[in-house]
Structure 1
Amino acid sequence: MSRKAVIERITKETQIKLSLNIDGSGEARVCTSVPFLDHMLNLFARHGLFDLEVEAKGDIDIDFHHTVEDIGIVLGEALKQALGDKQGIRRYGQATVPMDETLASVAVDLSGRPYLVYNVRLPKVKIGEFDVELAREFFQALTNNLAANLHINVMYGDNVHHILEACFKALARALDQATQQDPRIAGVMSTKGKL
């Protein structure tokens, strides 16, 4: 079974094309016009072993908000589409990732019920031109469109770049774990028989 998806989203604010292969090798080609997000998506692909291509244009002359949020929407849609009926997947994943002085933990449940817990304290600053509060917008959009329960917790950290990088790496590793197929699982990992 091929677990791939190609999603296009065109609005008055953004034009996005994203292709995803869940069973990839970590190859990425990302061009969003948001350099810090490009960096995060490249490491997301590498650490999740997902093949990911993203081309995005947006109204970045205003700010990065629409582009960042819409990429979260499209990535969530692509993951959901690529997983199909979720037959045989582990459903749950968890990863704790250090990044120098930072420690971040992500737990995910591909339950079909979107809910984000985001315990990440960040000052209102920018990394380059990237407003760090947009990370939460990205994760919320991803959560809603993947229909997943996502918990992101940063236990400690000082460097804002390290904090967000640890979050993206932990997310990638948790999703890699949750999307893995297990031959012992008949149907879906739920007593309801549906996710």
Structure 2
Amino acid sequence: MSSNMERPTFSAAIERETGETSVRLSLNLRGEGHALMDFPVPFLRHMLHLFTVHGSFDLTVSATGDVDVDDHHLVEDIGLCLGRAIREALGNKAGIRRYGERHVPMDEALARAVIDLSGRPAFVLHARFTDARIGTFPTELVHEFFKSVANEARMALHLAVLYGENNHHMAEALFKAFGQALREAVEVTGDGVRSSKGVLE
């Protein structure tokens, strides 16, 4: 039986090696908010720590990449690995709620995350960042990271910053909202697969 037909284990470990990056990631969706981040993109380390704590997951990421070029490849590949870990951890998605939604404020900023673990990838982000960078981190990579997660997890992920002034606060609210919404979506509420088709793939 293939892994995507097995019942959820709620944990997975992923390795990805390319000519640009090396990523090792482990995820426990039934964790306690423990994060261990070892890779050279400080802002993403901070954001994933927030995602982990506010989703009550356990997440370990050890990665290297061609950040001397820019952060794009490493951020994208960490997103791909996180999405793949979510997909593998959920197996056939039997028993889970499937949907999750959260609004999260961060000071003056308010973000919304809505998730459907449908098996069909879709991604929308509505956010107007006013600076090209948050510290040294390109704000455009917020979009690339979440798009990579959504595609590999095969989820519909709709994110929005409803309002805000500080770019760090806006990004932080998005990551916190994503963690909270995912936690809701993976809660066990029954035994069967929540789909009229009988499958989520």
Q: What TM-score, normalized by structure 2, do the two folds share?
A: 0.94
Structure 1 residue 181: deviation in Å? Answer: 0.7
- In the TM superposition, what are the counterparts of 1:20-35 in structure 2 within 5 Å? 20-35=27-42
Give the percent of matched residue pairs that are identical in Structure 1 and Structure 2: 52
Q: Distance in 2 between matches of 1:137 and 1:2?
A: 28
8 A contact 1:124–1:133 mirrored in 2: no
Structure 1 residue 123: deviation in Å? Answer: 2.6
Structure 1 residue 124: deviation in Å? Answer: 4.3
- In the TM superposition, what are the counterparts of 1:111-190 in structure 2 within 5 Å? 111-182=118-189, 185-190=190-195
Q: Deviation per CA, 1:70-89, whole angstroms, max 9, x where unpaired?
A: 00000000000001110000
C-alpha RMSD of matched pairs (Å): 0.9
Q: Distance in 2 between matches of 1:124 and 1:13?
A: 27
Query: Partner of 1:6 in structure 2?
Result: 13
Q: How many residues align?
A: 193
Structure 1 residue 2: deviation in Å? Answer: 3.5
Structure 1 residue 117: deviation in Å? Answer: 1.1
Residue identity opposite 1:88 in structure 2: G
Q: Deviation per CA, 1:63-107, whole angstroms, max 9, x where unpaired?
A: 000000000000000000001110000000000000000000000
8 A contact 1:90–1:179 mirrored in 2: yes
Residue identity opposite 2:11 in structure 1: K
Query: Partner of 2:100 in structure 1?
Result: 93
Q: Distance in 2 between matches of 1:2 and 1:112?
A: 17
Structure 1 residue 31: deviation in Å? Answer: 1.4
Q: Is 1:192 aligned with 2:170?
A: no
Q: What TM-score, normalized by structure 1, do the two folds share?
A: 0.97
Q: Distance in 1 between matches of 2:49 and 2:96?
A: 24
**Which 5+ residue runs of structure 1 have no aligned equivalent?**
none
Secondary structure in structure 1 of the residue aligned to 2:15: strand
List structure 1 segments (4+ residues) > 2 angstroms apart after TM superposition. none
Q: Is 1:67 aligned with 2:80?
A: no
Q: Distance in 2 between matches of 1:77 and 1:113?
A: 13
